[in-house]
Amino acid sequence: MSFHEPHELHKRRLGRNVGLGVVLAAFVALIFGLTIVKVTETDFSKAPVQVSE
């Protein structure tokens, strides 16, 4: 059983797929980081108090 040499098109596609994967992972990390900062930055001591009548 022999494996064929991958075509040049497949090599280029692999490079693009890896690049796109890196960009998407960086975007997810950015959104996750912004979410963590927003959640931990909230100061609940200054939250408005609801007064029941």
- The pLDDT score that the predictor gives to residue 28 is 98
Q: What is the spatial distance between Cα 15 and Cα 49, in angstroms, rounded to a whole number? A: 55
Percent of the chain with pLDDT over 70: 79
In whole numbers, what is the pLDDT of the chain averaged over residues?
84
Given a cut of 70, the residues of the chain with pLDDT beneath it are 1-2, 42-45, 47-48, 53
Alpha-carbon distance 25 to 51, whole Å? 45
Q: pLDDT by residue (tens digit) across 12-24?
A: 898 899 999 999 9
How many Å apart are CA 8 and CA 34, to the nearest integer? 40
